Structure 1
Amino acid sequence: MNLEISKAINTLLGEPQRIVIIPHKNPDGDAVGSTLALWHYLNDMGQDATVIAPNDYPKFLKWLPKNEQIINFEKEAATAKELITNATVIFTLDFNHLGRIGQLQPLLEEASATFVMIDHHQEPSDYAKIMYSDVSMSSTCEMVYNLIEGLNGINRITPEIAICLYTGIMTDTGSFKFASTTSRTHIVVAKLIEKGANNTKAHSKVYDTNTPSRLHLLGCALKNMVILEEFCTAYITLSQEELDNYDFKKGDTEGFVNYGLTLDGIIFAVIFIENKEEGIIKISLRSEGDFSVNEFARAHFNGGGHNNASGGRSELSLEETTEYFTSLLPSYKDQLNS
């Protein structure tokens, strides 16, 4: 971590602050893990910190220590607004553009607090006074560990902080199989286990708590998979009707997109999920090797993220979206077959 950033944050935290910590909308394991870990660390050192999430997050993350302290903006808007208005410091974690926080965006745009960004996605915007942005990092949780280390706070890492950080790193690296997993990532994970992170518990709580309806939904998704061998591509569709039929709950489709990449010869996998309430098709894109789904999502689906893992959206119908998607592939055939 950059020494200048460490010094700036250390100076900021050198006096009492009213701190708000915010993850992106639809927070995942990295977002929840990093914000809770930072919450534990700041409060343990005597700061007044609160996590405010734009909306709810999956049940398989609600075992993390003190997750009940997270304020859900959709349920506690008045409290959240007051905290943001009165905040002197706002940490934004696991996103780098205020458009990623839904209804919280106008509140943060009007806030007078000092902003600190901690994020590993590409092309950050410049809303934060202090920016710790590093696209080479496996996860925001690994970056929070680096921050704590830069603040000479390793001895302050409790088992609660350790398990939050471990869980975020585990989920954002696909259980340590993605290319972003470095030797440094494994060193950090080893230190977190030494600090009390129960790795077996983390894997079990996140991956082994399926409901019958979720497994049936997975079966539906796999049945819907379309394989385009000519373009080394596979995609899945899930309509709103199918989601409703299988009693969809937030987080149920987490990881579904990765099944396409388990097929021999497939390097580009996509899932299209209809969301009638928002009037969009939510898109998750994954790839292996040098094919950049970040560039693909930015160019065609108003999205972005990482080179091998990105998201996007479409306001067309599900059928129109997949037709548009397949029409794009011939232009990428050489890249996909290289």
Structure 2
Amino acid sequence: MLDLASLTDFLSRPRKVVITTHHKPDGDAMGSSLGLYNYLIQQGHHTTVITPTDYPDFLTWMPGNEEVVIFTQQQELSAKLVAEAEIIFCLDFNSLNRINELGELVRQTTAYKVMIDHHLEPEDFDDYRHWDINACAAAQLVYTFIVDQLNNRALINKDVATCLYTGIMTDSASFRLPNTTSDVHRIVADLIDAGANNSRIHELVYNSASENRLRFLGHCLANCLEILPEFNTAIISVNKQDLQRFDVNTGDTEGIVNYALSIASIRLAAFIVERTDRVKLSLRSKGEFPANEICKKYFAGGGHRNAAGGQSDESLEATVEKFKSILPEYKKLLIQ
């Protein structure tokens, strides 16, 4: 394992650096990755962000995005960059299976591996770890890594601040979740002082939906929403035909589960969608209800207590029924 002094010394000279994050990256994944990228290039490091898959169009405006390499589109280049890397930063994920086929390439390389993450139960693949499950976002941890550990607040420029603000804003649900502490607000204030245009970032992320995406959302709420009042639970289930009908693209389903959770009586919400290869689940909960426990125990997934995900190899209908069958086990927590 590397200690902080050794890592700081290693980064004191230009290095070949790869930054990667989880598949289907969200705002925190891309914000933390590009925030760190914009920090490292100021010091002369030869830095590349490699994502395992594509990501939503509403995140492609961030500084440095034009340099991102998407593994599924450029596998040979990705493999070459990983093989040549001297250090690899792994952001917003805690297990190499979260980066799909890219994970084995990262595992095999001799490069130092640095994990910056806030998820439970990290896998021991890293040489240095900046990890805190109480952090509201990986972007928050990138900030504290730069400012508190590397003592380089001066290099939080407008580009770094813009990306890190985006990560914190999206993973905290616009600063609404319980882990959005006073420390988080102080960090966000510092990022605004450094040049992050908060209103513009919000506009670019949240007010850039396509007409198809809005019509798809309406379809989900009007035709796919099921309420189970005896369990204070809501389910939105969507089949492949619906995805094709509304021409759903990467990112178009993001956040839909929160509409179900916004109902006053609901303590647990599930968005269950039939993808090409399997069924994916996204769970959200209120209070102390352990959404991550359900995903880990029954759906080969995990995440945070109030925001988790999983998957199923069964049909959409079978997956929905399985999810419903689990609810009696948690009835006391759901109706308290």
What TM-score does the superposition give when structure 1 sets the normalisation length? 0.97
State yes or no: 1:11 paired with 2:17. no
- 2:286 — aligned with what? 288
Q: Aligned to 1:115, what secondary structure does the other structure show?
A: strand
Residue 25 of structure 1 and its aligned partner are, at CA, apart by 0.6
Q: Distance in 2 between matches of 1:12 and 1:138?
A: 28
- 2:43 — aligned with what? 45
- 1:246 — aligned with what? 246
Q: Out of 286-295 and 4-13, give the one that drifted further.
A: 4-13
Q: Distance in 2 between matches of 1:7 and 1:171?
A: 32
Runs (5+) with no aligned partner, structure 1? none
- 1:203 — aligned with what? 202
1:114 to 90, 112, 115: 112
Question: Over aligned residue pairs, what C-alpha RMSD do you find?
Answer: 1.1
Q: Distance in 2 between matches of 1:178 and 1:213?
A: 29
Residue 114 of structure 1 and its aligned partner are, at CA, apart by 0.6
- Note if contact 2:117-2:131 (Cα within 8 Å) is conserved in structure 1: yes
Residue 106 of structure 1 and its aligned partner are, at CA, apart by 1.6
- Note if contact 2:37-2:64 (Cα within 8 Å) is conserved in structure 1: no
State yes or no: 1:173 paired with 2:172. yes
- Note if contact 1:285-1:311 (Cα within 8 Å) is conserved in structure 2: yes
Residue 16 of structure 1 and its aligned partner are, at CA, apart by 2.6
- 1:159 — aligned with what? 158
Q: Aligned to 1:197, what secondary structure does the other structure show?
A: coil
Q: Aligned to 2:100, what secondary structure does the other structure show?
A: helix
Residue 63 of structure 1 and its aligned partner are, at CA, apart by 0.6
Cα shift readout 1:159-185 (whole Å, capped 9, x = no counterpart): 111010000100000001011211111
- Note if contact 1:293-1:306 (Cα within 8 Å) is conserved in structure 2: yes
Q: Distance in 2 between matches of 1:44 and 1:254?
A: 33
Q: Distance in 2 between matches of 1:214 and 1:7?
A: 48
Cα shift readout 1:35-63 (whole Å, capped 9, x = no counterpart): 11111111101111111111111000001
Residue 231 of structure 1 and its aligned partner are, at CA, apart by 0.5
Aligned AA (1:336): L
Cα shift readout 1:294-334 (whole Å, capped 9, x = no counterpart): 11110111000101100100110000000111011011101
Residue 142 of structure 1 and its aligned partner are, at CA, apart by 0.4
Q: Distance in 2 between matches of 1:255 and 1:312?
A: 16
- Note if contact 1:256-1:271 (Cα within 8 Å) is conserved in structure 2: yes
Residue 145 of structure 1 and its aligned partner are, at CA, apart by 0.4
Q: Distance in 1 between matches of 2:111 and 2:4?
A: 19
Residue 6 of structure 1 and its aligned partner are, at CA, apart by 4.2
- Note if contact 2:14-2:43 (Cα within 8 Å) is conserved in structure 1: no
Residue 335 of structure 1 and its aligned partner are, at CA, apart by 1.2
Q: Aligned to 1:313, what secondary structure does the other structure show?
A: strand
Q: Distance in 2 between matches of 1:7 and 1:183?
A: 29
Aligned AA (1:238): V
Cα shift readout 1:258-301 (whole Å, capped 9, x = no counterpart): 0111101111011001102xx21111000010011111110111
- Note if contact 1:234-1:260 (Cα within 8 Å) is conserved in structure 2: yes
- 2:229 — aligned with what? 229
Q: Aligned to 1:20, what secondary structure does the other structure show?
A: strand
Q: 1:282 to 1:64 in 2, by over 3 A?
A: same
- 1:102 — aligned with what? 100
- 1:313 — aligned with what? 311
Q: Distance in 2 between matches of 1:221 and 1:163?
A: 32
The number of residue pairs the alignment matches comes to: 333
Q: Distance in 1 between matches of 2:261 and 2:6?
A: 42
Q: Aligned to 1:270, what secondary structure does the other structure show?
A: strand
Q: Distance in 1 between matches of 2:262 and 2:5?
A: 44
- Note if contact 1:6-1:147 (Cα within 8 Å) is conserved in structure 2: no
- 2:323 — aligned with what? 325
Cα shift readout 1:231-278 (whole Å, capped 9, x = no counterpart): 1100101111001000111000110000111101111011001102xx
Residue 79 of structure 1 and its aligned partner are, at CA, apart by 1.0
Residue 8 of structure 1 and its aligned partner are, at CA, apart by 4.2
Q: Distance in 1 between matches of 2:27 and 2:226?
A: 28
- 1:212 — aligned with what? 211
What TM-score does the superposition give when structure 2 sets the normalisation length? 0.97
